Chains A and B, each alone.
Chain A
Amino acid sequence: MNESRLLLVALSLIASPAIAGDLDLRIVDSAGRPVSDAVVTVRPAGGIPAGPIRFPWGTTMVQQNIAFAPHVLIVPVGATVKFPNKDKVRHHVYSFSKPAKFEIKLFGQDESRSYTFTSAGAVALGCNIHDAMSGFIKVVDTPFATKSNAAGQARISGLATGTAQVTVWHPLLKGKDNELLINLPIPGSGTVSKSVPLALRASR
């Protein structure tokens, strides 16, 4: 039953590719302040179109100034992420996260290591030498993914009309896997604007 419906959605998308809408979310915390680095992924009605997923921001996680840059990196499943060290000190990057448990031990300046992420999910990155270093790699299986900017805005366009499953992820978000799942109707054309408040754990 489910499969047949998915099929129908896919057929309708193919049949009418011109019919699409935009999503414009504003991510705020419980006090209404904009929240940045919240990852928004959408599973539109009719499913995810086939084909390789590529994001314009690349797949490199730099270690610079004793920090991960960017703080949050969205990569598609199967992407190989490079970890170039631009600091003068060495780093020992590790992850105990379920989607990717790995360790890149003590690599120096201008050395680059890489790791290929094979399953979707959030990967928390740390450095065993520098406890304060924290970074996240969000491995996604949809092309409709972005992270909120400093103003808390996250825009995704070209979404098929119908009810879309929108997932908001943030490292401090309370809840299972730090995720919030909402369903949103996407119109045939135009933009759906919505403010999404998040219950965040105090950052420590």
Chain B
Amino acid sequence: MTRAFRLKRRWRRWRRAARSTLTIRMTLFYGALFVAVTTLTLFGTRNAIEIYAENVIRREMNVGSALFDRISAMQLRQLGQGADVLASDFGFREAVGTGDAPTIESALHSLEGRFQLDHALFVRVDGTVMGDIKDLSRPEQDQLYDALDAGRTQGVVRWGSDSHIAAAAPVRAPILTGWVVFARNMGPADLNALAKLSSIDLHPQLMPLARVARADKADSGMREVMRDGELMLVQTRPVETLIKTAPEMLVLEYSLTRAMAGYAPILWALFGFGAVGGVLAVAGVFAASRRLTQPIVALEAAARKVSAGEHAQVKVETRDEIGRLAQSFNRMVDAVEAREAQIAHMAFHDALTGLPNRAMLREQVALGLTRAEGGNLMLFCIDIDNFKSINESLGHPVGDALLCEVGTRLAATCPSGFVARLAGDEFAVKLRAGGQTADQAGRAIVAALAEPFDIDGHRIIVSASVGIALSPQDGADATSLLKNAELALHRAKSEGKGSHRFFESAMDAEAQARRALETDLHDALRNGELALHFQPLFGLSQNRVTAFEALLRWQHPTRGMVSPVHFIPLAEETGLIIPIGEWALHEACRIAATWPDHIRVAVNISPIQFRSPNLAAVVLQALARSGIAANRLELEITESLFIDNVEATLSSLHSLRALGVRVALDDFGTGYSSLSYLRSFPFDKLKIDRSFIVDLLEHKGATAIIRAITTLADALGIETTAEGVEHSEQLDILRAEGCGQIQGYLFSRPIPAQDVEALLDKLDGARKAA
């Protein structure tokens, strides 16, 4: 690598640095500005001085020139007067008149001395010159004569190498006989004496025109000439000469260079001040911009730290804009960090109870699983039974307060555990294996939550179900452990609530099967895999089929016939029951429309479906689309509807009744056996649960129950139907006890729609035969 290349690279790097730094940029800019201004000032000053000096010299030259004129005029007058005196002297005139040469010569000589003349001459009209003529050549004498003869009387004249100032006076005796000429030297010495009278040495010179530079002849004013490296200001102008044909110039000159040299100290001082000022300016701007940019640099560094995720604050040193910016920056950083903390808390905590959420629990579990001594931990999933009804009956604020209280109680029950709220009324506790056993802990939790709660003056008693999963056997990672604990919780809930269950591996398989079924059920309705089968209800008094109960059947393409016992709860859990139920209503009505008008159709309504707000609209639609009379449709509901929110159930029942449809109470006598609702709503029919019918042949008491039901129904004007009749003995007892209708295998299993007509024919035929 050459040295030049290296230098170039260094220069480029320096330039890049200069461009990226505000300080250097400002310094360079203002430094350059100051230097430029100083340079301009310097040049301006120099120019002004030059012009001033030139003007001074010009003025001096004009003064010198005028001085020359004045002095020469004075001398000429003196000389002229002297010549006049001589010319008019009678004696001299007589001498001239009589041609007395010696007298003339002596007179001239004596006057030379008296007037301090260099030359005193007498020129006769015939051209002869007398007096001190040794310096005059013949041509000069002739020239002199010619000039006098032409009438010239005064002016500068050059004889030999010397210039003279001369004046002449005519001699008349009495006619013109000649001229007296007085002349004085006007050599360099005399001119220098003249020069001393002006304030600067203008070096005046008289020069024949021929010797003056041509340029100076053309312009009689002033001009600048370069000579021997010096700039000269030269003024040339013609002077009055005695001999017109020999013009003489007065040359005045002065060196501008020398004049300027006098001002050099001023310029040097200015330059010095400029240089010092420039250095000071650069240093000052550097310092000032440094002070300005330092906080900006600090801010930039802090911003970089913040963006990298670190905490950073800037020191506030000033109260100006930058200081305020620093303050704002600090406030911004604090606010961002606070919000970040809040968001982080929200991400891992439940807003209502302040307990950790599912995400944090999962992290905790994962942490517990990886710990060397750990690996053995117990996970409890807790759910409040029937929390929904508490929320609905007492209101959400009470429900929320209850949830908080549950959290508190869980924490108190498991002081070493990690309590989290997973969702809604579902909580979880993580315990390290060691202290109490999982069974003890589960029991303790159930017991703790079974204690009555006092919320806002409400005494609330709840039960809780607990699912337990243990690591490592029930799951090697947090996700599966949590999932399995929840599966166990489900089992606990579905198996009676208010208890705890451990996870079993079968649960997992079951859950998977359920999930598969759930997926298939989604497609079943769309693919037309669902169908309605109908089981006849036989009216004993009418002695004929009075109605058919529509029952859902699922013909799965691979599983075959799927039992409603399996898929109805699943549909209810997933909410699929709503579209399925809607479809069933429409389908049942559509098929019933093909039957004789005296035969009704009964359709089961799931509690989920019943609570959906548009049930009445769906019923109305099914009636309208099929065209069957409203009283031919019988909706079968279960007692469980009356467990929660009796008022809402009753109002819904009344609005259905208003449509004109019949309402039957299914599975009567099993669940919530309160008779009060029979008083509240006039059901059209009670369907006596099959368990009572089965008992008929085994317990004597069963007959009494049937009798009680039928008696009660009769008293209230409600029809009765017995379900699950399989034996003729049962039929006999039921007939005897006054049951209105019989349903069961004794007459027919549920049959596809297309078989209904054949069945009716067969039963009618049998009846006629009987």
A125 adjacent to B174 (CB under 8 Å): yes
Q: Mark B145-177, 1 if CB is under 8 A from A, else 0.
A: 000010100000000000000000010111111
| Bound-state Cα–Cα, A134 to B173, Å | 9
A149 interface hit (Cβ, 8 Å) = no
Answer whether residue A96 sits at the interface, using C-beta atoms and an 8 A cutoff.
Answer: yes
Asked if A50 is an interface residue, CB under 8 A from chain B, the answer is no
Q: Select one of A101, A134, A202, A204 contacting B174, CB under 8 A.
A: A134
Asked whether, in the complex, the Cβ of A131 is within 8 Å of the Cβ of B98, the reply is: no
Contact A171–B98 (Cβ < 8 Å) = no
Decide if A126 touches B174 in the complex (CB within 8 Å): yes
Name the distance in Å between A115's Cβ and chain B's nearest Cβ.
Answer: 15
B174's nearest neighbour on chain A, judged by CB, is A126
Query: Per-residue 0/1 for A124-156: is the Cβ within 8 Å of any B Cβ (1 yes, 0 no)?
Result: 111110010110100000000000000000000
Across-interface contacts of B149 in A (CB, < 8 A): 201
8 A Cβ contacts from B78-137 to A? 88, 90, 93-94, 96-98
Q: Which residue of A lies closest to B175 (CB)?
A: A124
Check A124–B173 contact: CB distance below 8 A. yes
Contact A96–B90 (Cβ < 8 Å): no
Given contacts A96-B93, A96-B98, A202-B151, contact A171 B175 (CB under 8 A): yes
- With beta carbons under 8 angstroms apart, the residue of A101, A131, A136, A201 that contacts B172 is A131
Q: Determine which of A101, A124, A136 lies in contact with B98 in the assembled complex, contact meaning CB atoms within 8 Å.
A: A101
Contact of B90 among A128, A201, A202 (CB under 8 A): A128
Closest CB in chain A relative to B232 CB, distance in Å: 44
Which residue of chain B has the shortest Cβ distance to A126 in the bound complex? Answer: B174
| Complex contacts, B175 vs chain A, CB 8 Å | 124, 134, 136, 171
Q: How far is the CA of A125 from the CA of B97 in the complex (A)?
A: 12
Contact between chains at B170 and A204 (CB < 8 Å): yes
Chain B's interface: helix, strand, loop or mixed, by majority? mixed
Q: Do A133 and B174 touch (CB < 8 A)?
A: yes
**Once the chains are docked, how many angstroms separate the CA of A10 from the CA of B98?**
39
User: Contacts of B93 on A, CB cut-off 8 Å?
Assistant: 96
Q: How far is the CA of A133 from the CA of B88 in the complex (A)?
A: 13
Min Cβ gap A126→B in Å is 3
A126 and B172 contact, Cβ closer than 8 Å, known pairs A96-B94, A96-B98, A131-B88: yes
* Per-position binary interface string of chain A over residues 60-89, scored 1 when its CB falls under 8 Å from any chain B CB and 0 otherwise: 000000000000000000000000000000
Q: What distance in Å separates the Cβ of A51 from its nearest Cβ neighbour in chain B? A: 32
B170 and A96 contacting across the interface, CB-CB below 8 Å: no
- Contact assessment for B176 and A204 in the assembled complex, using a CB-CB cutoff below 8 Å: yes
Enumerate chain A residues within 8 angstroms of B151, measured Cβ to Cβ: 202, 204
Check B176–A126 contact: CB distance below 8 A.
Answer: no
Docked-complex contact B170 and A124, CB < 8 angstroms: no
List B contacts of A101 (CB < 8 A): 97-98
Q: In the complex, which residue of chain A has the Cβ closest to the Cβ of B94?
A: A96
**A202–B97 Cα gap in the complex (Å)?**
20
Interface string of A32-72 (1 = CB under 8 A from B): 00000000000000000000000000000000000000000
- Closest CB in chain A relative to B168 CB, distance in Å: 12
A136 partner residues in chain B, CB cutoff 8 A: 175
Please indicate the chain B residues that have their CB under 8 angstroms from the CB of A94 in the complex: 174
Segment 76-129 of A: residues with Cβ below 8 Å from B: 94, 96-97, 101, 124-128
CB-nearest residue of chain A to B153: A204
Nearest residue, chain B, Cβ from A101: B98
Which residues of A lie under 8 Å from residue B90 when comparing CB positions?
128
* Most interface-central of A96, A128, A131, A201 (chain B CB within 10 A): A96
Residue of A nearest to B173 (CB): A96
List the B side residues contacting A96 at CB < 8 Å: 93-94, 96-98, 173, 177
Q: Mark B162-195, 1 if CB is under 8 A from A, else 0.
A: 0000000010111111000000000000000000
Q: Which residues of A contact B176 (CB under 8 A)?
A: 201, 204
- In the complex the two chains form, what is the Cα distance from A201 to B145 in whole Å? 14
A39 to chain B, nearest CB (A): 14
Residues of B within 8 A of A133 (CB): 174
Question: Cα distance A200–B577 when bound, in Å?
Answer: 160
Taking CB atoms, residues of chain B closer than 8 Å to A124 are 173-175
Q: Which of B88, B97, B98, B149 has the most C-beta atoms of chain A within 10 angstroms of its own C-beta?
A: B97
Q: Across the interface, which residues of A come within 8 angstroms of B174, CB to CB? A: 94, 124-127, 131, 133-134
CB distance from B572 to the nearest CB of A (A): 157
Once the chains are docked, how many angstroms separate the CA of A127 from the CA of B173?
9
The reply to whether B98 and A126 contact each other, CB–CB distance below 8 Å, is no
Q: Taking CB as reference atom, which chain B residue is nearest A134?
A: B174
Residue on A nearest B87 in the bound complex, by CB: A131
4 A-B pairs with least C-beta separation? A96-B97, A126-B174, A124-B175, A96-B173
Q: A96-B94, A133-B174 are in contact. List 7 more A-B contacts (CB 8 A).
A: A96-B177, A97-B97, A124-B174, A126-B174, A131-B88, A131-B174, A204-B176
Residues of A within 8 A of B (CB): 94, 96-97, 101, 124-128, 131, 133-134, 136, 171, 201-202, 204
25 pairs from A and B in contact (CB 8 Å cutoff): A96-B93, A96-B96, A96-B97, A96-B98, A96-B173, A96-B177, A97-B97, A101-B97, A101-B98, A124-B174, A124-B175, A126-B172, A126-B173, A128-B90, A131-B88, A131-B172, A131-B174, A134-B172, A134-B174, A134-B175, A136-B175, A201-B149, A204-B151, A204-B170, A204-B176
